[in-house]
Structure formats: structure tokens, C-alpha cells
Homo-oligomer: A and B are copies of this chain.
Amino acid sequence: MSEGQPHQHSYIANRTKDDYLKRLRRIEGQVRGLQRMVEEEQYCIDILTQVSAVTKALQSVALGLLDEHMAHCVVDAAREGGAEADVKLKEASDAIARLVRS
């Protein structure tokens, strides 16, 4: 993690960034909705349906971010070539494997 160095990966256009933030806030709201459903002991199947919806929304965010990453970081590294290109490809490939397996 590069938490100490914010603002350095400006691969996301501002418009797109706002869109991701909006989607993540909606997902946060859905997770709070899940807490309320459990709190109120709503019907289990309804809770599971909602969990599937949140999972799909998260997957969709991940696939979008991955697209941006490939279109910018991976493509740039590919053009520069050398070891950095290999590192970026390996990173992307590991991230894809984690998404496919999760």
C-alpha cells in the first residue's frame, strides 16, 4: 500500500473518480442496509439477495478500475518496455486472478 503518498496515480479522470465515489457510497449504504436487515431479523433469503447485489456492485467497480489501470498504467509500461512492463503485467495478472477466484 502506498498510503503515505496520495495524489500520485492520476490515472482516473475527475469525472470518472466522482462516478466511482458515488458508486462506493451507494455500496456503503447497501452495507448499512444489510446491518439493519440483520438487526431487524428480516427474512434470511432477502438478506442473501441483498448480499449478492452488493457483491455484484463491488465486482463492477473492480472491473471498471481494472480497465482504467490497463488502459493507462499497463499500456504506458508496455510502451516503455523493460522490467517495468513485466512488473506491471504480473501485478495486473495477479489482481485478475484474485478477482476471478473471489
The residues of A with any CB-CB pair to B shorter than 8 Å are 1-3, 6-12, 17, 20-21, 24-25, 27-28, 31-32, 34-35, 38-49, 51-52, 54-56, 58-59, 61-63, 65-71, 73-75, 78-79, 81, 85, 89, 91-93, 95-102
Contacts and interface: CB of A to CB of B under 8 A. Distances in A.
B54 A58 contact: yes
Contacts of A98: 48-49, 52
B96 A40 contact: no
A6 to B, nearest CB: 4
Per CB-CB distance, the 3 closest pairs between chain A and chain B, nearest first, are: A6-B40, A78-B78, A44-B69
B52 A6 contact: no
A44 B75 contact: no
Nearest to A54: B58
